Structure 1
């Protein structure tokens, strides 16, 4: 009988998760939040990629400067 509590917990957890997912999926405010967050993450990723390219170019320039000496 030790496994009975685990099964009941899994069933309750599943039901709560289903209710939560359904309510969030149908929530207009959560959808707006998700879209805004997604756009912000995408913008930050683009900024980070540009900075990475700039840094790589600077490192290339620095290494060429020291190579020429």
Structure 2
């Protein structure tokens, strides 16, 4: 087997491993969302909104 063909095989295997990794990452995220019933996501959004609103309020109060 030539070095070039061996390198091509390694490249193909690496590309497949990257695809598998992405698919696994997506599956893990989907499982976490399912297990949390998306309430976790709702809490994160509410928390971010709260922090953003506090920052706006602080900035507004500081302007006066």
Please give the range of the TM-score, normalised by the shorter of the 2 chains.
0.5 to 0.7
Equivalent of 1:20, from 19, 28, 35? 28
Where does structure 2 lack aligned partners over 5 or more consecutive residues? 1-8
RMSD between aligned residues = 1.9
Equivalent of 2:48, from 41, 53, 68? 41
**4+ residue stretches of structure 1 with deviation over 4 A?**
none
Structure-2 separation of matches of 1:36 and 1:53: 25
1:22 CA drift (Å)? 2.5
Structure-2 separation of matches of 1:36 and 1:18: 21
* Greater RCO, CA 8 A, separation 6+: 2
What is the aligned residue count? 56
Q: TM-score, normalised by structure 1?
A: 0.61
